[in-house]
Amino acid sequence: MVVDKQKVQQLADNLAESEIKGRSLWADARHRFLRNKAAMTGLIVLVLVLLFALFGPLLTPWNYEDIDWDALSDIRELGAPSLETKHYFGTDDLGRDLYSRVIQGTQISLMVGFIGSFIAVVVGTLYGAIAGYIGGRVDGFMMRLVDILLAIPGMFVLILLMVMFGRSIVMIFIGIGLLSWLDMSRIIRGQTLSLKQKEFIEAAVATGVRPLTIVTRHIVPNVLGIVVVYATLLVPGMIMTESFISFLGLGVQEPQTSWGALINEGAKTIQHGTLWQLLFPLGFFVVTLLSFYFIGDGLRDALDPKDR
């Protein structure tokens, strides 16, 4: 029996093509995201950082605020990384275990990134969708308010909040989140202006569906792809903002710490030869930010309708 290789190949191509056409948009995006090596590398590294923040304390007997008095006798010798003393990353200039403090900094920095991004995404998405759907004078007023807020330096407002209401984790969450929704609202508003001309929106209006229901059930789900991509790119920006504030000494209060505070401490003591105090928190900071950017780029490529 003679097998026509050309027909077999054509049949295989048709099956593959039908399989791709049978996928949903989200399934197709997931398939293309999994094939992105840079995005998958970033995802794996990010998972490892999260595991380090969650389960890292189980590997050390030291707490982030415990002081090893022996390490204070000579910081240049006893403060270096050591498996014998279980100071895996060494100690800081006050004799505190740097490994535990990097874990504490990782937890706080990631919490600021995730919670701040969640606040910005929720507020910005709803604000932009409502403004774009209602339109008219309401849309003009809401967008002019956004323009006014964008004209005010966000870092200045955040520093002012820290000075007026005190340095606390909650205030950092609220301050960073409420200052980062402005760009999101403008993006969602533009998408809403195009979506509300679609047939399924006009059909919902004709059947008497309430405007708020149209926004939450029809418009928001259709801009979810953009929201997901923007959120992944927003998290590293949040972390950088918090780190900068902590670097200035206006972030979390001692004995709590974050990546920015640890980098600040390491930069101050680097002239004493304690290079590990700067390298470890800076390494986690850089690697995590790159991971988020790789994931964001991968999601953007996977959800791009031009590539489907």
pLDDT (tens digit per residue) in 176-192: 777 788 888 888 888 88
Please report whether residue 16 resides in a domain.
no
Q: In the prediction, which pLDDT does 277 show?
A: 85
Please report whether residue 227 resides in a domain.
yes
Please report whether residue 24 resides in a domain.
no
Q: In the prediction, which pLDDT does 3 show?
A: 46
Give the mean model confidence (pLDDT) for residues 215-240. Answer: 81
Q: Of residues 19 and 92, which shows the higher confidence score?
A: 92
DSSP string, the chain: ----HHHHHHHHHHHHHHHHHHS-HHHHHHHHHHT-HHHHHHHHHHHHHHHHHHHGGGG-S--TT-B-GGGGS-HHHHTS-BTTTTBTT-B-TTSBBHHHHHHHHHHHHHHHHHHHHHHHHHHHHHHHHHHHHH-HHHHHHHHHHHHHHHHS-HHHHHHHHHHHH-S-HHHHHHHHHHTSSHHHHHHHHHHHHHHTTSHHHHHHHHTT--HHHHIIIIIHHHTHHHHHHHHHHHHHHHHHHHHHHHHTT-SSPTT---HHHHHHHHHHHGGGT-THHHHHHHHHHHHHHHHHHHHHHHHHHHT-GGG-
What's the CATH number where 66 sits?
Answer: 1.10.3720.10
Q: In the prediction, which pLDDT does 263 show?
A: 86
Smallest CA-to-CA distance from 243 within 158, 165, 164 is with 158
Mean residue pLDDT across the chain: 79
Residue 171, pLDDT above cutoff 80:
no
Tally Cβ neighbours within 10 Å of residue 251.
27
pLDDT (tens digit per residue) in 48-60: 999 999 998 898 8
Indicate the pLDDT class of residue 117, thresholds 50, 70 and 90. Answer: confident
Give the mean model confidence (pLDDT) for residues 217-241. Answer: 81
Q: Produce one character per residue of 170-209: b if its CB has 16 or more CB atoms within 10 Å, e if not.
A: eebbbbbbbbbbbbbbbbbbebbeebbeeeebeebeeeee
Q: Are 239 and 112 in contact (CB under 8 A)?
A: yes
Please report whether residue 117 resides in a domain.
yes
Model confidence, pTM:
0.77
Number of domains into which the chain is organized: 1
Tell me which residue has tokens 């997901």.
Answer: 228
Please report whether residue 18 resides in a domain.
no
Start-to-end CA distance of the chain, whole Å, equals: 39
Indicate the pLDDT class of residue 8, thresholds 50, 70 and 90. Answer: very low
Smallest CA-to-CA distance from 263 within 249, 45, 158 is with 249
Indicate the pLDDT class of residue 76, thresholds 50, 70 and 90. Answer: very low
Cα separation, 236 vs 48, in Å, equals 16
Please report whether residue 19 resides in a domain.
no
Identify the weakest region by mean pLDDT among 14-18, 185-189, 254-258. 14-18
Please report whether residue 3 resides in a domain.
no
Q: For the chain, give the percent of residues with pLDDT over 90.
A: 8
Please report whether residue 88 resides in a domain.
yes
Give the mean model confidence (pLDDT) for residues 86-99. Answer: 83
Across-strand partners of 87? Answer: 82
Cα separation, 284 vs 49, in Å, equals 8
The verdict on whether omega for the bond into residue 81 sits within 30 degrees of 0, i.e. cis, is: no
Q: Are 205 and 217 in contact (CB under 8 A)?
A: no
Q: For the chain, give the percent of residues with pLDDT over 70.
A: 86
Identify the weakest region by mean pLDDT among 14-28, 99-113, 137-151, 269-283. 14-28
Cα separation, 71 vs 292, in Å, equals 36
Q: In the prediction, which pLDDT does 75 show?
A: 47
The tokens describing 167, both together, are 């340095």
Indicate the pLDDT class of residue 209, thresholds 50, 70 and 90. Answer: confident
Give the mean model confidence (pLDDT) for residues 207-232. Answer: 81
Q: Show the domain range for 255.
A: 33-307
Half-sphere exposure of 282 (CA within 13 A, CB side): 12
